[in-house]
């Protein structure tokens, strides 16, 4: 079953808890929380206190996407704040294997992500430690961008590798996913779709989530 993880970057952040309750009622499997530090990416969003406060308001799975430099410094604190799935970027991390292990040791699902220009083969050596891999389909930093179709080729290669090695790993795609290109992402092998604008700008969010699932 394809899972949908709406990104609150496209939500009305002054009503964050209500927006999350709304997507949960609309059938979202989890909520995608984009943490940006102004260093690894140029944009700055929100961090630990926001996630911690939101955790008190909802039981939905928190899919936390760290776009921060040296994420290994903060994984413990994001898990304490309420992350259920914690994703960090291989490009930003000084010891990917150690960081994945540290996340898993806490009973949190561990995921590593690659930017559009990073070969997906760069993370193959870590696959045994991953519960999920996030293949970015836009340059991280901003919501509302158009999907880069070449990134779906990386999803295909990764799916082949995971199957060949008999692993059970989710593949998440993030950036510019909409009802038009979701079937391509699913056909390429993605099973968790992040969608910001496509869900939060829809007048009927339940319908948007259903349509993305295909
Ligand atoms: C981009 C973020 C995405 C983004 C997705 O850096 O990681 O999660 O918010 O938003 P849309 O679906 O609007 O591209
Ligand atoms: Zn994201």
- Domain 3-213: CATH class, spelled out: alpha beta
Decide: 79 and 85 in contact? Cβ < 8 Å.
Answer: no
pLDDT value for 161: 98
Residue nearest atom 7 in ligand 1 by C-alpha distance: 140
Q: How confident is the model at residue 16 (pLDDT cuts 50, 70, 90)?
A: very high
Please indicate whether residue 143, judged by its CB atom, sits closer than 6 Å to ligand 1: yes
List, as one string, the DSSP characters of 171-183: EEEESS--TTTHH
Q: What is the pLDDT of residues 149-175, one digit of tens each?
A: 999 999 999 999 999 999 999 999 999
Closest ligand to 140 CA? 1
Angstrom CA distances, 206 to 83, 146, 160, 191, 213, stand at: 24, 23, 32, 18, 11
pLDDT given for residue 30 in this prediction: 98
Confidence of residue 117 (pLDDT cuts 50, 70, 90): very high
Phi-psi region of 115 (alpha: psi -120 to 50; beta: other; left: phi over 0): beta
Residues 100-113 have pLDDT tens digits of 999 999 999 999 99
- What pLDDT sits at residue 76? 98
Mean pLDDT computed over 76-89: 99
What ligand is nearest to the CA atom of residue 176?
1
């Amino acid at each position: 079953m394809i899972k949908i993880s709406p990104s609150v970057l496209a939500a009305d952040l002054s009503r964050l808890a209500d927006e999350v309750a709304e997507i949960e009622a609309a059938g979202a499997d989890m909520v995608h929380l984009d943490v940006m530090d102004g260093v690894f990416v140029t944009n700055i969003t929100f961090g630990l206190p926001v996630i911690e406060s939101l955790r008190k308001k909802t039981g939905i799975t928190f899919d936390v996407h760290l776009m921060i430099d040296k994420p290994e410094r903060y994984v413990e604190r994001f898990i304490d704040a309420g992350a259920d799935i914690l994703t960090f970027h291989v490009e930003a991390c000084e010891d990917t294997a150690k960081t994945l292990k540290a996340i898993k040791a806490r009973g949190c699902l561990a995921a590593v992500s690659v930017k559009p220009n990073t070969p997906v083969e760069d993370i193959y050596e870590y696959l045994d430690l991953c519960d999920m891999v996030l293949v970015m389909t836009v340059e991280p930093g901003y919501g509302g961008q158009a999907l880069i179709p070449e990134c779906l080729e990386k999803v295909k290669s990764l799916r082949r590798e995971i199957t060949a090695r008999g692993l059970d790993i989710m593949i998440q795609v993030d950036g510019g996913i909409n009802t038009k290109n979701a079937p391509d992402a699913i056909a390429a092998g993605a099973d968790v779709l992040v969608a910001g604008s496509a869900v939060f700008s829809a007048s009927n969010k339940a319908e948007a989530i259903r349509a993305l699932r295909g």
